[in-house]
Amino acid sequence: MKTATAAMTANSSTPIISVRGVNKTYAGGFQALKKIDLDIKRGEIFALLGPNGAGKTTLIGLICGIVKATSGTIIADGHDIMRDYRAARATIGLVPQELHTDAFESVWATVKFSRGLFGKAPDAAYLEKVLRDLSLWDKRNAKIMTLSGGMKRRVLIAKALAHEPTILFLDEPSAGVDVELRHDMWRMVRTLRAQGTTIILTTHYIEEAEDMADRIGVISKGELIVVEDKAVLMRKLGKKQLTLTLRRPMTGIPAGLSAWPLVLSDDGHVLVYSFDAQEEETGIAELLRTLAEHGIEFKDLRSRESSLEDIFVSLVHRPKGTQE
Amino acid sequence: MNIYGIRAIYHFEMARTFRTLWESIVAPVLTTSLYFIVFGKAIGSRMGDIDNVSYGAFIIPGLVMLNLLNESISNASFGIYMPKWAGTIYELLSAPVSWFEVLIGYVGAAATKSVMLGLLILGTARIFVPYEIAHPVWMVAFLLLTAVTFSLFGFIIGLWADSFQKLQAVPLLIVTPLTFLGGAFYSIDMLPPLWQKITLFNPVVYLISGFRWSFYGIADVDVAVSIGMTFGFLMTCLIFVWWVFKTGYKIRH
Ligand SMILES: Nc1ncnc2c1ncn2[C@@H]1O[C@H](COP(=O)(O)OP(=O)(O)O)[C@@H](O)[C@H]1O
Ligand SMILES: [Mg+2]
């Protein structure tokens, strides 16, 4: 107890999870992860964002002990996950992507099992609280197979929380989940974070990362392309766009405007100007003046910031080697 | 040692047993009763005694062994195969339990169940045939050792199997024939001399012979050899399981 508290205060700035030079090649020869280096900060919500097959589940599996790394080291809460696997795993809770449940068990039996399996003494009051928080208390005696998909997802969350982990992994938590559960889940995630739990979630929904995360790691084809504070990422890579709806369609961009990064829509009705949101001088005033000089009139004008989605698409489709 | 973890697995497995308690009891009791009616009464009445033991009594230890082997293997193999099949093994793999602890949980529960069943069959047999147990301590020792050994063996099969067919193939194609040919229903002196020799390659012979000795003091092979062989099987299974866990064979990607 004393050492744990000491470690907490001493390490509050050191990462809670540290992944170093991790590679994973599956038995078939497929390399699912390439030289991953990643630090998760204590107490943050970290979103691992990437398309299907990017390697998110593999990376989580490595940290949780389900998948064996081909090379590299992983430290969880100060413990090497291989040498000191007991201490490392005792701190981690995992909600898997797939709805793997014991059909014939009752909800209560299965959470009780999880708590015991992770080496914790029985604590009915704590488990009751977990079930109540997840609106599962009324279903505690129901067999899991009688529950809906959303309820099963709640059961998996309850199982993951049964041993009071300090690190919680949520692998695609909102896949196939209704609005109500998503709402409950995010409320729970924020509460857990407020209590000091570190949360790592994977998603291919960009809005989810945008809503929830403090930091975002983008993974694509087994490579971690970027890891950044959400705000910084959006600022750094964010673009603004000015959309002009023209009064009269054009067949092409006049020669005098070729210096501007303009894109004309196919029907010639809409002109889009992209500019860096970071720049002091956006160039809008000058563009509008130049348009007027060319006699181009517009009936509407809108500007918008690029979403994380745009950033993501640009990152993932950026040719290799250009990310720095 | 994660005692809570072992307890959780053990209870989980025992709960699975008790959920199907009725099937678990009725089927073996019914089949054993049929054996006693057919072999003990109908055919047994035409058979002479074997070493001064009535035929009905003679087959009891063999029948118990037959059930013990099948139950141990099927309980343990099913126990570890199910989480693999249903995907719930993720929790076991991510939990702070060593494989030795997982083993104690699964094998302990499977062995418990088959010992309970063995005792139940002995009780059922008493209804049909009177018998005495000459060496009760050895009888219990053989029962426990065999249950643990074959639960270990079943556990290995459950780890290895990647389909229900494979899960059932080993008990059906190997263990059942070996048990039937292992002297459950006859003494091996009743076989022609060549077959007596061949039979000695069947490990089940030693188990049944030793077990029968604990009842009636009669044996096909020296009881010391039976005890040695039983421990030998136990060690073989333990070493194999240790190797499986050490290499992560078929468990972790
Ligand atoms: N057990 C496995 N054996 C071989 N390849 C695998 C295995 N599991 C995953 N993969 C492959 O590794 C890649 C990454 O998978 P995964 O980590 O599940 O991605 P994500 O979770 O980002 O969708 C995929 O191409 C997948 O096909
Ligand atoms: Mg995945």
Per residue in B79-96, pLDDT tens?
999 999 999 999 999 999
A149 and A260 assigned to the same domain: no
Q: Is residue B171 part of a domain?
A: yes
A96 and A150 assigned to the same domain: yes
A109 and A248 assigned to the same domain: no
Q: What is the pLDDT of residue A84?
A: 93
Positive or negative, the Cα torsion across B247, B248, B250, B253? negative
> d(Cα B249, Cα B245) in Å, to the nearest integer?
7
C-alpha neighbours within 13 Å on the C-beta side of residue B17? 24
Q: Is residue A6 part of a domain?
A: no
B19 neighbourhood in chain A, CB within 8 Å: 104
A202 and A276 assigned to the same domain: no
Ligand approaching nearest to the C-alpha of A53: 1
Residue of A nearest to B12 (CA): A113
Count the helices and strands in chain B (H runs, E runs).
Answer: 11, 0
pLDDT single digits (tens) B129-146: 888 899 999 999 999 999
Its pTM stands at 0.82
Asked if B2 lies within 8 A of A112 by C-beta distance, the reply is no
Q: Of all protein residues, whose CA lies closest to atom 4 belonging to ligand 1?
A: A26
A247 and A189 assigned to the same domain: no
Q: What is the pLDDT of residue A310?
A: 65
- Say if CB B75 and CB B148 are below 8 A apart: no
Q: Using the structure block, give the residue that is written with the tokens 């499977």.
A: B110
**DSSP line for A279-316:** -S---HHHHHHHHHHTT--EEEEEEEEPPHHHHHHHHH
* Torsion of Cα atoms, A200 then A58 then A19 then A212, to 10°: -20
Run of H or E residues at B165: helix B164-170
| Other beta carbons within 10 Å of A231 | 12
Q: Is residue A32 part of a domain?
A: no
Q: What is the pLDDT of residue B138?
A: 93
Positive or negative, the Cα torsion across A105, A109, A111, A117? negative
Run of H or E residues at A39: strand A31-40
CATH of the domain at A249: 3.30.70.1560
A228 and A251 assigned to the same domain: no
> d(Cα A63, Cα A66) in Å, to the nearest integer?
8
| Other beta carbons within 10 Å of A265 | 14
- Give me the mean pLDDT over the B7-32 stretch: 86
Q: Is residue B107 part of a domain?
A: yes
Which member of A94, A103, A116 has the closest CB to residue B94?
A: A94
Q: Is residue B154 part of a domain?
A: yes
Q: Is residue A137 part of a domain?
A: yes
A120 neighbourhood in chain B, CB within 8 Å: 4
> Ligand 1: distance of its center to the CA of A55 in Å?
6
Q: Confirm or reject contact between B95 and chain A (CB < 8 A).
A: yes
- Give me the mean pLDDT over the B2-26 stretch: 89
Q: Is residue A102 part of a domain?
A: yes
Which member of A26, A89, A114 has the closest CB to residue B253?
A: A26
Residue of A nearest to B88 (CA): A100
Asked if B2 lies within 8 A of A85 by C-beta distance, the reply is no
- Give me the mean pLDDT over the B173-178 stretch: 85
Q: Is residue A95 part of a domain?
A: yes
- Give me the mean pLDDT over the B225-248 stretch: 87
Q: What is the pLDDT of residue A317?
A: 64
Q: Is residue A319 part of a domain?
A: no
Total domains, chain A: 2
- Among A215, A234, A253, residue at a domain's last position: A234
CATH of the domain at A52: 3.40.50.300
Q: What is the pLDDT of residue B51?
A: 76
Residue of B nearest to A69 (CA): B253
Q: Of all protein residues, whose CA lies closest to atom 1 belonging to ligand 1?
A: B253
Q: What is the pLDDT of residue A208?
A: 79
Ligand 1 binding site (Cβ under 6 Å of any ligand atom): A 26, 28, 30, 32, 50, 52-58; B 253
Q: For residue B183, give its domain range.
A: 3-247
Q: Is residue A314 part of a domain?
A: no
Distance from the Cα of residue B211 to its chain's centroid: 12
Q: Token pair of B223, please?
A: 């009881």
* CB-count burial class (<10 Å; 0-12, 13-18, 19+) for B76: buried
A205 vs A175, A215, A218, CA distance in Å?
Answer: 9, 15, 12
A130 and A243 assigned to the same domain: no
Which member of A92, A104, A120 has the closest CB to residue B94?
A: A92
Q: Token pair of A262, please?
A: 């303009």
A204 and A283 assigned to the same domain: no
Close Cβ partners of B150 (under 8 Å, ≥ 6 residues apart): B68, B69, B72, B73, B76, B114
Total domains, chain B: 1
Low-confidence ranges of chain A (pLDDT < 70): 1-12, 235-239, 277-280, 305-324
Q: What is the mean pLDDT of chain B?
A: 87
Q: Give the A window 25-44 contacts with B, CB below 8 Å.
A: 26-27
> d(Cα A125, Cα A137) in Å, to the nearest integer?
12
B252 neighbourhood in chain A, CB within 8 Å: 65-68
Q: Is residue A204 part of a domain?
A: yes
A103 neighbourhood in chain B, CB within 8 Å: 86
Residue of A nearest to B2 (CA): A119
A171 and A258 assigned to the same domain: no
Q: What is the pLDDT of residue A320?
A: 47
A250 and A128 assigned to the same domain: no
Question: Which strands form A71-76's sheet, in the order they lie side by side?
Answer: A31-40, A17-25, A71-76, A79-80
Asked whether residue B115 carries a pLDDT value surpassing 90, the answer given is yes
Q: Is residue B13 part of a domain?
A: yes
B101 neighbourhood in chain A, CB within 8 Å: none
A210 and A101 assigned to the same domain: yes
Q: Of all protein residues, whose CA lies closest to atom 27 belonging to ligand 1?
A: A53
- Among A234, A263, A280, residue at a domain's last position: A234
- Say if CB B189 and CB B209 are below 8 A apart: no
A123 and A181 assigned to the same domain: yes
Q: For residue A91, give its domain range.
A: 42-69+80-234
Neighbours of ion ligand 2 (CB under 5 A): A 56-57, 97
